[in-house]
Chains A and B, each alone.
Chain A
Amino acid sequence: MLDLFDNEYGPDGFRTCSVTGLRIHRSAENPTKLFALTAIVALLVGGIFAFTVAMTRWELVGLLEAGDFYTHLSMHAWNLLIFWMIFMEIAVLYVGGPMVLGRRLSIPTLAKVGWGTMVLGAVAVNYGIWKTSAPNEAPLLTAYVPNPSEPLFYAGVIVFLLGATIAALPFFATLWVEKRENAGQTLPLVTFAAFTTAVIAVEAILGGLAAFSYAFLWRMEIIASVDAAIYRQLYWIAGHGTQQINLVAMIAVWYFLTHVVGGAEVVSEKVSRTAFILYLFFINLGAAHHLLSDPAVSTGWRIFNTSYAFYGATFASLIHAFAIPAGIEAGRRRRGLGGGLFGWLTGAPWLNPMFSATIFSIILFGFLGGITGVIMGQLQLNMTWHNTLATVGHFHATVVLGTTVAFMGLTYFAIRTLFMRQFISPKLASIQPYLYSGAMAIATLMLMYVGILYGVPRRTTEVVENIPGTEFSLSAAGPLFSVFGVFALLAIAGGVLFLVLAVGSVLFGKRIEPGDNDDITPDGGLAADGGESVHHYEMRGTFVLCLVFLTAFVITYLLNWYLLSQLWKIGI
């Protein structure tokens, strides 16, 4: 089909990537392309609904009626938070597993079966949501029973989760074969990260199957009732677990892309691996923050999960937040590319969209998503964030500015190195991460502001215009919504540009011949020649950046506690 799946392989089915130096087998490369392309389709569908949702939120336009809004919001959420991400994450597993290990993909037939099952599930979910009619309700991402949704929706989710499990099996099988053949050898860091991602994915999928099977049986009236409190806990194993897969997969992509296009070196493998293990232990406990306002769980349970356990995951993120820029700084200084305090950073390949997208993902995830995540994940501070648009701002900062931007970088990388195509416009490809990340960052910031400053709710169609039947007026938030509306449109334009570039380049890009990919390899080569050990190089630029991050963290943290301490004045 349009020679999308053609590359020149040797008689053993392997080829060597000129950028990464990896031995890539046909059995791993083709499914990776298939999953990545399907993810792009989901991004397109979700992106269309991003437009209708944003233009409804911006009440100057006020596009949708209340009856349609939730359906559009559900389509937006399921296609972007689940389908775009998980199709892409399966591709990440195949890159991190067989490709990094230089192996065949074991049981490749299962990859195709998994893909088909996932597509079937995704189509069913989309159809189920789109055809929702009373008494059913569009499920958004919180498909809470006893609110009924279309039976097809529950069935679609179950099929999709089963499909994801099937698609992940070849990855596990590949690792199993690797460990049998090379017992006692550690996995490369990116493979280890992909493995952590897959383990968390298994947890999420098991939780999801339990929750949605339970709801499906209830919806089909096979069982009479569902314990709503138990259901919510089961639900969030998947509901938040899927977002944790996004997080860990994103960090795997950060390590991979900063190395292969930025020349980063791993400063301490042990420390980075420990951080992934911390995720494994603690990150799903953080999902409890969705139940912080839930009456069914005890305060002690909530405090343990959202304080002591949650900090384990936060600590892991802080390790990566230091390790990755430190790796770039040390790697570039080792190649003689690091003059002054920040020369290693400013002299980096900023016109390469794979690099710029990765760095924007790191910065924006850290400053906007990470800090707010810790704040709203606390039992006390959550009270000022819960169910306001600030929460929406937070998860746009994590999964859009973080994961989506990182995956955009990975897609660009795949276009050049797997599909072997030049970009249809290298200049526009250079600009796109700046446009998308910048505009989306301002739109996200405005969502946080209108939520935390004005308490604008997140689930109603009406936001600035007074919510009918209430004494509250949110009209003062109007100016911030105007800023949001303009930047949301710019961000959508950036998303459209990405889709045009990605699809256009895959279909119409000039085929890359051997040697044509040299422009994306790091300055000084992928492996630094000679020089001292990476630990001999100063990382003072990273230290300063970490201090800036810490300062922003402390100020935001204190400000939120101050605001909370003022709440007792309400009603006086």
Chain B
Amino acid sequence: MTDSTSSSVFSLASGLFRRTWNDVLSVYYANTPIWRVLKSVGLLFFGFFCWSSANLLLSYRPSWSFLYFVMAYGFALIVWGPLTHFVLLPWVIRLRRTSNHPLTRTIARKGSMLNLSIFLTIVLVLGMAPVSPMLLDFGTLVDDGTGSPDVDPDLECTVVDELVECSLSDPSGIDHVVVTSGQKRIKTVEESPYDFEIRRSDLETVVGQKQFTVELRNEDGDTLRRYKRTVPADGE
């Protein structure tokens, strides 16, 4: 590669970099109402994305501690992005035009750098010492055993002549069982193991089939599981 070629590549790259940097600066300082809205809302969404995805990745890769900083960046950005572009930047720009006092002039001149420094400091502090609202908890998806047990027994029903006989594979965690058909309550079973018999003639016919619903409930009356069963209407 000749010197002139490498120099033209270099000047092209530096020109591109300079133009991009100028574009970024002009977007950062753009201060019309719609620019404020677009930048604030864009950063708000970007913050949400960084915060949640860093939390999620961290739950799979706890050793990737750099994710705390991504998370802190996103978390802080949710507030700081709109604050910067809705409040601080317009204020700094206004101050540049109106300030007379040396201190306010300094703030006006260095305001953006000061704001960015405060933001990065917050990110560093939160990244090193994450506060609890920042951390999404993914550790409690399966209970530690102190909560309610998993109630998911099989319901087996057989038809014997005019009777429908049903039983549950595991009665634990159930307080009572309610059997309904249509809007009619057929039976409430309160004794474990909650086997029951119902008469086919007591059941309502729905589109050609006798149908009933079995609800397993806890002591508060909350439904734990709900089963719907059909039996032939004519006893065949």
Contacts and interface: CB of A to CB of B under 8 A. Distances in A.
Nearest to A218: B207
B148 A471 contact: yes
Interface residues of B, number: 52
B142 interface: yes
A471 B172 CA distance: 13
Nearest to A453: B56
Interface string A322-357: 000000000000000000111000101010000000
Nearest to A480: B136
A468 B224 contact: yes
B147 A466 contact: yes
Nearest to A476: B137
B4 interface: no
Interface residues of A, number: 43
Contacts of A445: 45, 48
Contacts of A476: 136-141
Nearest to A452: B56
Contact of B150 (A135, A442, A469): A469
B139 to A, nearest CB: 7
| Interface SS, B side | mixed
A474 B148 CA distance: 13
Contacts of B41: 438
Contacts of B60: 562-563, 566
A116 interface: no
Contacts of A434: 37
B225 A469 contact: yes
Nearest to B52: A449
A61 B201 CA distance: 42
Nearest to A341: B23
A466 B148 contact: yes
A148 interface: yes
B84 interface: no
Nearest to B40: A438
Nearest to A563: B56
Interface stretch (B26-34, B103-111, B154-162, B190-198): B26-34
B34 A350 contact: yes
B181 to A, nearest CB: 7
A368 to B, nearest CB: 9
B140 A475 contact: yes
Name the residue in A441, A473, A566 with the highest tally of chain B Cβ atoms < 10 Å from its Cβ.
Answer: A473
B177 interface: no
Interface in B160-204: 173, 180-183, 204
Contact of B33 (A350, A468, A474): A350
Given A453-B56, A466-B148, A469-B150, A66 B223 contact: yes
20 contacts: A135-B211, A146-B207, A221-B207, A221-B208, A340-B23, A340-B26, A342-B27, A346-B38, A438-B41, A442-B44, A442-B48, A453-B138, A468-B218, A468-B222, A469-B150, A469-B216, A471-B143, A471-B148, A471-B150, A475-B140
Given A466-B143, A472-B143, A476-B139, 16 more contacts: A135-B211, A221-B207, A341-B23, A438-B41, A454-B138, A455-B141, A468-B148, A470-B150, A470-B151, A471-B149, A473-B141, A476-B138, A562-B57, A562-B60, A563-B56, A563-B60
